[in-house]
Structure 1
Amino acid sequence: MLQVQPVSRSVRLNGFATCLRLEDVYWQILQHIAQANQCSVSAVLSYIDREVHLRHGGVRNFSGLVRVICVAWLRDPPSER
């Protein structure tokens, strides 16, 4: 049940400090994504933020987008990419 507890963390997205609230399980997945890409969780989140702004002009629910990306990453492991 601890994995479903929301956790707020301060992160820097492209140089701007913000707070992101996600369930602990998503923070764990983000850590795996960061390790697979040899970078920090903030770097992963900054990349997502930058890409969504460049491609779509932004997103209303960034935390929801992050959750979807985490699930998609689990469904399509890096070894299959």
Structure 2
Amino acid sequence: MCHLFAHQPQRDYESQTRSLRMGGHSTSIRLEMSFWDTLEEIAAKEGMSLAKFLTTLHDEVLDHHGEVKNFASLLRCSCLIYRAKSAVVVPEFRGSTAAIMDAAE
């Protein structure tokens, strides 16, 4: 089991801080590269720049909840939801996560 997690590329879990403007304020967000990659993919699918997508998401959360607590964690959870909904289960690999990861490499 640890092979599944231990052999992932180090780049995926390296952190990167990016600066952007949201709601007229400059801010910085620190996330692991795999999350930045996923957010860029989501933004592209929505036809937006990453900054526009993050601003739109922030504004929608603000409208819905009245505040935005821990935006970086919200982004990580959003990526997990997106990846879970995008996952394709390949029947011949059912029950074998190692086979799925080997197939993805």
- Give every structure 1 segment of 4 or more consecutive aligned residues whose post-TM-superposition deviation is greater than 3 Å: none
* Greater share of strand: 1
Partner-residue secondary structure (3-state), 1:27: helix
Identity %: 31
Query: Max radius of gyration: which structure?
Result: 2
Cα RMSD (Å)? 1.1
Instruction: Name the TM-score, length of structure 1 as normaliser.
Output: 0.87
Residue of structure 2 equivalent to 1:41: 50
Equivalent in the alignment of 1:66: 75
Q: In structure 1, how many angstroms separate the alpha carbons of the residues matched to 2:68 and 2:23?
A: 15
For structure 1, the residue ranges without an aligned partner over 5 or more in a row are none
* TM-superposed deviation, 1:2: 1.3
CA distance in 2 between counterparts of 1:9 and 1:58 reads: 21
TM-score normalised by structure 2 residue count: 0.68
Gaps in structure 2 of 5+ consecutive residues = 1-9, 87-105
